[in-house]
A and B are shown apart, each in its own frame.
Chain A
Amino acid sequence: MLRILHDTKYDFIKPWRIAIGITVAFIATGLIFLGVHHGLNRSIEFTGGTLVQAEFAKRPDVGDLRGTIDAAGFRGAEIQQFGSDTSFTIRAAGHQTTGGKVENTATEIQTALEQKYGKANVHIARTEIVGPRVGDELSRNAMIAIVISLGITLLYLAFRFEWRFGVAAVIATAHDLLSTLAFLAIMRLEVSLTVVAALLTVIGYSLNDTIIIFDRVRENLKKARPEPLYDVLNRSINETLPRSILTHVTVAAATLSLLLFAGEVIRPFSWIMLFGIVTGTFSSIYIAGPVLLWIERRWPRTSGGKAGPSAKSTKAAPPRPTSPRTPVGAR
């Protein structure tokens, strides 16, 4: 049978300082980007404003286009190419319309474009108009959704495992949230509702990964022979490694096909998912494990477990149960 990374004995926990150093550096870079760009690049769903996606018959001159939009009274509107070079999005903040009605902005932009390029040469594929209050509400709801989902996870894991596991998993997940936000900031991806959905998917996915390792830890801890948690963790990560690799590969395959073929609208979603696979894997191993050890050292369970992350314990896990390996049915 074809096997990858089978029966490995890597010490995953040992380089925890390096791992945390890398992730802190990455998140710090994200923060710097946030500072430089004055926050995340939020979509109009959050900022309020008007977005018009216009398809032109032939490629318009961007300067010309900007002039037209400026002349229509939308100074400072963002104009971006969207996918193909005949497709543009025009994003205007605020609603400085004549009638004072929010819904007129899109019509004004459309009229201006049709006057300039002719009705036949420009087609409005999509418009979005969002009032300012809606955006505030969405931001709040997105925050609430994330906090509640973390809280529910904590409760569920505390119920199914133990509070230590729950806290470790939630901290690892919170790390994924932070590093994904850093990724968003560095890539300047537009944060829309779909991106929030992707963020929550990343949370779910990373949690999935952590739980599968913790499930193995739970199982290995139940075994009669007491073993330091440090070794149990390492052994569990090693044992679940083939599964992790294979699952990540299949999910990455699906995500890559989304990124490459599913078009512009879904692209930010795909980018985040792709990054989420990386950070989810990383945090399940390098964050959840050491944090669990740290919690264990601060608040030890009554039985077993002595080692902390800094404890220079045995390098490799003890030999596996003595059952002889029978090579079975390789084809």
Chain B
Amino acid sequence: MSNLKWRLAIIGVLCLASVWALYPRNVKVRQRRADGTFFDTTTYRVPLRKGLDLQGGMHLALEVDDSKGVVTNKSEAIDRALKVVRTRIEGLGVSETVIQKSGNDRILVDIPGIDNRERAIKIAQDQAFLEFQITDKTGAFEKALPRLDGIAREKGFGGAVASAAGATTPSASAPLGGLLTTGTDTTKGAASAKSDSARKDSVKADTATLGAGGPISKLILGGQMPGQFLFERANYDALKLFFESPAAAAALPPGKVVRFGSDSTVIGNKVYRSLYLVDERPIITGEYLTTAKPNQSPLEGTIVEFTLNNEGGRRFQRETAKHVHDYMAIVLDKVVMGAPPVINSAIGTRGQITMGGKDLQAAQDLALVLQAGALPVPLRVAEVRNIGPSLGQDSINKALTAGTIAIVLVVVIMLGYYRFSGMLAVGGLALYVLYTLAVLAGFDAVLTLPGLAGFVLSIGIAVDANVLIFERIREELDRGKTVRTAIDEGFRHAMSAIIDSNVSTILTAMVLYQFGTGPVKGFAVTLIAGIVASMVTSIFVVRTFFLVWLNRSRGAQTLSI
């Protein structure tokens, strides 16, 4: 008797716990305002997490990009990169993002509900390595041009690109320095006359040696400040490829590197982009940066304002003091951002990066990645999945329909075949659904579409244990046992089959969990939760139902089974 009370109490507690686990509640969600600040808000919903395939969103797998150099310890590099990627993605302000390491060399990023694929990829993948480099003022680039021309001729650079350039700009072949006056006349005339004249001297010396101009030198014009050079936008890809080659890098004077600019300039009716020769050693890097925030300035458009920490500030001040009247290129991931400003006097802990024509969101994103820090290794995209929210909702609806129909069919079969006992089994099945969902909510498991399918399937499989037991009870009744003994024996004898078959299925599901990814992991979790819940309901709950029934109809000679 008291045994029965205990059983009922346990079932009751399990039900209450399940209902509590599933009760809709306020869930904290982090959201982002238009200006890039965050606020916490709450939504009221059932605490079951929907996977990306059900609610829409993006799944991204990033791996170490070793095409640009060997990465010795990938696993350790990924660990460090993971922290940075996490900070950045969480900064997006989307709730329930999942960022985790997979294997030794991969980062998995799940962002629910994001609709802009490129933007998310950019935020996760941008290396965000910030450097401040002083532009060259010794005319080293002009001196290196003949050598570069030689290399370009050897490698057959001239062909396609030179003809393309010829077609668009005959004037591009004008000797270097010839356009200098044009350059200073443009809107960017802010470039100081002092530096202009200073450079003219060095340029004049070079133009003589350049002669008719080689394949490279005929594409390149002098810029508006020392170390800056302009070329037509159409030649960007070819020049970038050329300057990235080791031969070209070797031809440059030691300690100097070429960096391309992010902006384009319009001179006359042509669009030019710029390249810079800068000191290889940065005067400071982004590691000293403490805060970065987007802003809008009436003069420069969108900007990102940043502050450095004390150590960085001291270093920045010391270095800038040495370089007064020089131009400082702000280089992000090897690209010069905006026009390098001139250093008028030593600068302390504050600075800004101009974003050119980019919008405020671009500034927000840059601030985000700068503040999260640079990635220790370059990452490349290994996998992207993007699922629209409407598709996910459609999947949920369909799975619900299928689930409802499956339940109705199973209930009809069980009631039709086992009658009263079938009713007990159906009661067990109802608790099974409740418990499984509660376990999923309790473990914060993610519901995916294959997971939902597995759940629907498990409704069919869940009654298996009941069927085993009921068939066993029938056999015992056939052997002339009394109802009470038959039920006892039926449960006892069916036990080994139920346990062995379920344990082996759980083992398979665990393997699936270990080796699966995303949706398949969700499937394995649902399967395991379902099996455990079905064992509990069939062995314990339905047994209790029988005991209650036996108790209420004492001395029952027959059992409807």
Residues of A within 8 A of B (CB): 1-4, 53, 101-103, 106-107, 123-131, 133-134, 137-138, 141-142, 144-145, 148-149, 152-153, 156-157, 160-161, 193-194, 196-197, 200-201, 203-205, 207-209, 211-212, 215-216, 218-219, 239-240, 242-243, 246-247, 249-255, 257-258, 260-263, 265-266, 269-270, 273, 321, 323-326, 328-329, 331
Contact = CB atoms under 8 A, between A and B. Distances in A.
Given A53-B391, A265-B449, A211 B121 contact: no
B509 A215 contact: no
A200 B519 CA distance: 14
Contact of A257 (B63, B406, B420, B523): B406
19 contacts: A107-B117, A124-B386, A131-B380, A131-B381, A138-B517, A141-B515, A145-B511, A145-B515, A156-B503, A196-B516, A201-B454, A204-B504, A204-B527, A211-B497, A219-B496, A257-B402, A257-B403, A323-B480, A328-B557
Given A249-B413, A323-B479, A270 B383 contact: no
Contacts of B385: 126-129
Interface in B376-426: 380-388, 390-391, 394-395, 398-399, 401-403, 405-406, 409-410, 413-414, 416-417, 419-420
Contact of B457 (A194, A208, A218, A254): A254
A93 to B, nearest CB: 15
A216 B381 CA distance: 53
A216 B497 contact: yes
Interface stretch (B335-343, B365-373, B431-439, B470-478): B470-478
A218 B496 CA distance: 10
B515 to A, nearest CB: 4
Interface residues of B, number: 86
B512 to A, nearest CB: 5
Nearest to B405: A257
The residue among A125, A269, A331 with the most chain B CB atoms within 10 A of its own CB is A125
Given A103-B121, A243-B467, A266-B449, A258 B457 contact: yes
Contacts of B509: 200, 204
B92 to A, nearest CB: 17
Contacts of B405: 257, 261
A90 B347 CA distance: 55
Contact of A133 (B382, B406, B468): B382
Given A125-B391, A145-B511, A247 B419 contact: no
Contacts of A1: 419, 474, 560-561
A250 B511 contact: no
Given A258-B457, A326-B480, A328-B477, A253 B402 contact: no
Nearest to A142: B515
Given A243-B471, A254-B406, A258-B402, A273 B508 contact: no
B514 interface: yes
B2 interface: no
Given A127-B386, A197-B450, A152 B519 contact: no
Nearest to B560: A331
B391 A253 contact: no
A174 to B, nearest CB: 14
Given A133-B382, A153-B504, A193-B516, A219 B391 contact: no
Nearest to A146: B511
A106 B117 contact: yes
Interface in B163-182: none
Contacts of B193: none
Contact of A126 (B388, B401, B457): B388
Nearest to B413: A250
The residue among B117, B383, B454, B523 with the most chain A CB atoms within 10 A of its own CB is B383
Interface stretch (B73-81, B299-307, B310-318, B458-466): B458-466
A71 B481 CA distance: 78
A201 B514 contact: no
A207 B501 contact: yes
A130 B409 contact: no
Contacts of B480: 323-326
B512 A212 contact: no
A37 B105 CA distance: 34
A201 B450 CA distance: 11
A218 B493 CA distance: 12
A101 B467 contact: no
Q: Which 8 A-B pairs give the minimum distances between C-beta atoms? A: A329-B558, A254-B460, A251-B460, A253-B409, A145-B515, A215-B497, A262-B402, A263-B398
B555 to A, nearest CB: 13
A2 B500 CA distance: 28
Contacts of A262: 398-399, 401-402, 452-453, 456
A106 B386 contact: yes
A273 B479 contact: no
A156 B406 CA distance: 32
Nearest to A152: B507
Contact of A201 (B384, B386, B399, B527): B527
Nearest to A215: B497
Contacts of B283: none
B483 interface: yes
A219 B454 CA distance: 32
A203 B508 contact: yes
A127 B391 CA distance: 11
A75 B420 CA distance: 63
Contacts of A261: 398, 401-402, 405
B501 A102 contact: no
A298 B454 CA distance: 40
Nearest to B453: A266
B391 A126 contact: yes
Interface string B544-561: 000000000000011111
B365 to A, nearest CB: 16
Given A197-B450, A325-B478, A329-B559, A265 B395 contact: yes
A173 B372 CA distance: 51
Nearest to A213: B497
B500 A211 contact: yes
Given A201-B454, A257-B456, A270-B453, A250 B463 contact: yes
A211 B479 CA distance: 24
Nearest to B386: A127
B480 to A, nearest CB: 5
A270 B449 CA distance: 12
A125 B504 contact: no
Nearest to B506: A204
B522 to A, nearest CB: 9
A269 B450 contact: yes
B487 to A, nearest CB: 12
B65 to A, nearest CB: 11
Nearest to A273: B457
A194 B520 contact: yes
A124 B388 contact: yes
A144 B402 CA distance: 32
Given A262-B398, A325-B480, A328-B483, A208 B464 contact: yes
Contacts of B416: 2
Contacts of A260: 402
A188 to B, nearest CB: 21
